[in-house]
Amino acid sequence: MEDSKGETLSWRLREEVIELALHRPPANEMGLAMLVELERFVTEVETVADLASVLIIHSVLKSGFSAGGDLHELYAYALEAGATDRGSGIRPFLELSHRLFAVIDTFPLVTIAAVLACVLVAVLNSPWFATSSSPIRRRGFAFRNCVSDSSP
């Protein structure tokens, strides 16, 4: 796995640790650009997963770990679909994000979300924390400073 730096994500493999860094200003909102880069990341990790034992996900921004989905971008997709079928505008985005995080959940790696600032999980099903098999319940996540969960 070669080091990679994109517009929203960077990753590298050092010894047995894969590091995934989030760096999309202002608050690491997950939009299509991040999903495209995350898809590249997933493809690369699938080829080297047996060389690593840990995946560390962290933010390089002081604004926090991740604001979740980019609501402005999702709203624009819904508007493009028209008033009669708003769901079709955001469905591909949601399906891709859930598919990618479901694949990440299958990696034979200990996954650590290294949160060095506040994290606001305001989205009902934020893919950073809840895939179909709920990795937050299955694996250890490291949180430092504060965590605010406003989901029901």
Domains of the chain plus CATH, in order, are: 4-54+74-149 (3.90.226.10)
Phi, psi of 144, rounded to the nearest 5 degrees: -130, 140
List Cα–Cα distances, 60 to 24, 68, 89, in angstroms.
9, 16, 31
Report the pLDDT value the prediction gives residue 151, as an integer from 0 to 100: 39
The confidence score (pLDDT) of residue 146 equals 41
pLDDT digits (tens, 9 = 90+) for 112-145: 888 765 555 444 344 554 444 444 433 434 433 4
pLDDT of residue 125: 44
Instruction: Identify the pLDDT of residue 70.
Output: 86
pTM: predicted TM-score of the whole model, two decimal places: 0.74
pLDDT < 50 regions, the chain: 121-126, 129-152
